[in-house]
Amino acid sequence: MRLVKVSETINFMKLRTVTMVLSALLLIGSVVSLAVNSLNWGLDFTGGTLIEVGYDKPANLSEIRTTLNNATFEDAIVQNFGSSDAVLIRIAPREGVKSAQIGNQVVAALRATGDTVEMRRIEFVGPNVGEELTEQGGLAMLVALLCILVYVAMRFEWRFALGSVSALMHDVILTLGLFSVLQIEFDLTVLAAVLAVIGYSLNDTIVVCDRIRENFRKIRKGSPTEIVNISLTQTLNRTIITSLTTVLVLLALFYKGGALIHGFATALLFGVVIGTYSSIYVASSVALALGISKEDLMPPQVEKEGADMDPMP
């Protein structure tokens, strides 16, 4: 099946310099945002009490914040949850006060204004658990990148390995930067999505690298840049079909999946788009910049047994 009929090779690498500058600017912006704004850590990481309440009418978030502030809950984070009448309240842990007691105090303060408020759920995560999750999550990403580096270096060539890992780091940093800029809550489901982005991007990059290696061995004439362009053109339809079908599913999750997986769908949607871009421009561009050539990808010649023996008289 071909969605795009291509009669001539597309010169993808013509935009290599432009895309590398664009990626560098996006990476710098993401790192700056992460350093200044950090991430909007979810309750899974920060610890504390999460309370979901329901109103019989659209909730006024400004009034709720004022009410909680007057009730000594100045650190409360208030936001809608799925609909205008559902409200999610996050409160940092307090020493000597149980989460159930905090929940009762919050609901009592909200009901004191005369509104009908229904307690829907209350959850508590200790700060020690949140700190452990943060460390383990970061370690999981580092181990994944290291294993990928070793695998690609053994499977293909070290230049492709550095290109692939550069593309994966590019995708992860930009995804984290998006969540930092937009201040979308970063919880365990989003962390799972980031790890899934690594897997998706790697799969796309491996397909491209495999085709480049095959063409380096098959095409006798042609510069490395020309062979990379030929390989990217040949895998274009596969890339479009894979990305399009994935995006359609994620759009359904984004709009119909509910607030619980909204961050998960957002991270994957952005990750699929940026992963497709990085497999074309980041991984291939880095490999070319490192000087990949036909000689690097040719299979080693195996000498036949007895080839070095003197011929019989």
- The model's pLDDT over 288-299, given as tens digits with 9 standing for 90+, comes to 888 877 665 665
Higher pLDDT, 39 or 137: 39
Would you state the torsion angle of the CA atoms of residues 218, 221, 225, 226, taken in this order, to the nearest 10 degrees? -80
33: tokens are 């945002």
CA dihedral 60, 107, 111, 52 (to 10 degrees): 40
Mean pLDDT, the chain, whole residue set: 81
Dist CA 19 CA 13 (whole Å): 9
Q: Quick one: pLDDT at residue 34?
A: 92
Orientation of helix 236-256 relative to helix 188-218, angle to 10° = 170
- Residues with Cβ within 8 Å of 222's Cβ and at least 6 positions away in sequence, in order, are 230
What pLDDT is stored for residue 309 in this prediction?
52
* 8 pLDDT higher than 60: yes
Tokens standing for residue 139: 């370690």
Q: Residues 192, 198, 202, CA angle at the centre, nearest 5°?
A: 150
Tokens in use for 112? 């004191």
- The single-letter code of the amino acid at 152 is V
Tens of pLDDT, residue by residue over 210-265, are: 888 888 888 777 788 888 888 888 888 888 888 888 899 999 988 887 767 888 99
Instruction: Give the C-alpha separation, 46 to 93, whole Å.
Output: 9
H or E element, residue 81 = strand 77-81
> How does pLDDT run across 85-139, given as a tens digit for each residue?
888 888 877 777 776 788 888 888 888 888 888 888 888 766 655 667 667 777 8
pLDDT tens for each residue of 41-70:
877 777 778 888 888 888 888 888 888 888
From CA 38, how far away is CA 176, in angstroms rounded? 9
Q: Report helix, strand or coil for 88.
A: strand
Closest Cα to residue 45, out of 135, 139, 177, 163? 135
Residue 9 near residue 155 (C-beta atoms within 8 A): no
Output the pLDDT for position 288: 85
| pLDDT of 131 | 66
Strand, helix or coil for residue 281: helix
Residue 33 has pLDDT above 90, yes or no: yes
Residue 304 scores a pLDDT above 70: no
Q: Is the pLDDT at 165 greater than 80, yes or no?
A: yes
How far apart are alpha carbons 59 and 9 in whole angstroms? 56
Q: What percent of the chain lies above the pLDDT cut of 70?
A: 87
User: Which pLDDT value is given to residue 300?
Assistant: 56
d(CA 289, CA 284): 9
pTM for the whole structure: 0.75
Do 52 and 86 form a contact (C-beta atoms < 8 A)? yes
At 2, the amino acid letter reads R
65 burial level (CB within 10 Å; 0-12, 13-18, 19+): middle
Nearest-angstrom CA–CA distance, 24 and 20 = 6
Instruction: Please enumerate in sequence order all residues whose Cβ is within 8 A of that of 125, keeping only pairs 6 or more positions apart, or say none.
Output: 43, 44, 46, 47, 48, 50
Q: Strand 185-186 vs strand 40-41: parallel, antiparallel, or unpaired?
A: parallel
Please name the amino acid found at residue 311. P
